[in-house]
Amino acid sequence: MPEPLRKILVVQHVPHEPLGTLDKLLRTHKIRIKFVNFSRHPDAVPDIAGYDALIVLGGPMNVDEAHLHPHLRTELRLLEAALRADLPILGICLGAQLLAHVLGAHVGRNRTQELGWHEVRLTAAGQEDPALRHLATGRHVFHWHGDTFGIPQGAALLAESDLCAHQAFRYGRHAYGLQFHLEADEPVIDRWLRIYHDDLTRAQGAEAVQRIRRETRTHLPPMRALGDAVFSDLLRFFGWQERTGPIQLGHRMTVPIPRFD
């Protein structure tokens, strides 16, 4: 069984992309959270030593913009260190793209922006995954991205959608990348609709904001329950509580990890 989680390092890129519903879940289980907020401290150089897991959140920057956001190189080295230490990792949106990039997969523009509520489907591997199995086919989840990740060599594709073929992957025993935002709650979504109003209307038209608000009233309650189930099992698998039976999961890392010096 995994050792109990005590302290998680959380990488945050901008104030309006927080842990969301994950914050309450972590605190409920008395897991200490250490934030590295690169919008406030762009020159921070966090060390994974002393932490039991790593969470890298989303952000408006892209993986190929390290010339504009030098902290992205710091994050790549941090993810590399966490992988080498075999620590549990959860990457969300940009965090998933950075994780895929560290593992040697291509990250670039998706064929279209995926903004708002869209359905996702589990693959066969996703249906057997101890956490993503809750994500029943046809369930709407919240998205906000224009880029996408390839699936790293040796990783399992867990979920897909009509607009984006790669929605979630697991690498090795416990490194997960999620393109969508199960952690988003109503205040987060409302804030994004205000901050990214112009980008959204350019992409989807003047009615997009009100449409997403209406869809949020319908889809957010079931997604909140879904997120609690997925994240609870994910954290249980990461180690916050022992399971009653064995978990049969994949393998350890099987491909070299590029160095980002």
Tell me the pLDDT tens digit for each residue of 105-149.
999 999 999 999 999 999 999 999 999 999 876 789 999 999 999
Catalytic residue among 69, 166, 183, 219: 183
Domain membership of residue 142 (yes or no) is yes
> What is the pLDDT averaged over residues 244-260?
39
pLDDT at 240 over 90: no
What pLDDT, on the 0 to 100 scale, is given for residue 236?
A: 87
Give how many domains the chain has, as a whole number. Answer: 1
Burial 90-117 (b: 16+ CB within 10 A, else e): bbbbbbbbbbbbbbebebeebeebbbbb
Domain membership of residue 202 (yes or no) is no
pLDDT at 243 over 70: no
| Residues 181/92, Cβ–Cβ less than 8 Å | yes
DSSP 3-state of 97: helix
Q: Where are the alpha helices (DSSP H) in 109-207?
A: 124-128, 186-195, 197-204
Tell which residue, 35, 104, 109, has the closest CA to residue 65: 109
Domain membership of residue 199 (yes or no) is no
Domain membership of residue 84 (yes or no) is yes
Instruction: Grade residue 83 by pLDDT with cuts at 50, 70 and 90.
Output: very high
What pLDDT, on the 0 to 100 scale, is given for residue 3?
A: 62
For the chain, the distance separating the N- and C-terminal CA atoms, rounded to the nearest angstrom, is 34
For residues 183 and 139, what is the distance between their CA atoms, to the nearest angstrom? 15
Catalytic residue among 75, 93, 145, 166: 93
What pLDDT, on the 0 to 100 scale, is given for residue 154?
A: 96
Domain membership of residue 213 (yes or no) is no
Domain that holds residue 106: 7-184+226-238
The yes-or-no answer on residue 166 being catalytic is: no
pLDDT at 253 over 60: no
Tell which residue, 215, 139, 209, has the closest CA to residue 180: 139
Tell which residue, 185, 231, 221, 254, has the closest CA to residue 26: 231
What pLDDT, on the 0 to 100 scale, is given for residue 252?
A: 36
Question: Which residue shows structure tokens 């104030």?
Answer: 15
Catalytic residue among 118, 134, 145, 181: 181
pLDDT at 260 over 80: no
The CATH number assigned to the domain holding 47 equals: 3.40.50.880
Tell me the pLDDT tens digit for each residue of 145-164.
999 999 999 999 999 999 99
Domain membership of residue 112 (yes or no) is yes
Rounded to 10 deg, the angle between the 21-28 and 208-238 helix axes is 20
The yes-or-no answer on residue 160 being catalytic is: no
Domain membership of residue 206 (yes or no) is no
What pLDDT, on the 0 to 100 scale, is given for residue 145?
A: 95
For residues 139 and 52, what is the distance between their CA atoms, to the nearest angstrom? 31
What pLDDT, on the 0 to 100 scale, is given for residue 139?
A: 86
- Total Cβ atoms within 10 A of residue 6: 14
Domain membership of residue 257 (yes or no) is no
The yes-or-no answer on residue 183 being catalytic is: yes
What pLDDT, on the 0 to 100 scale, is given for residue 221?
A: 96
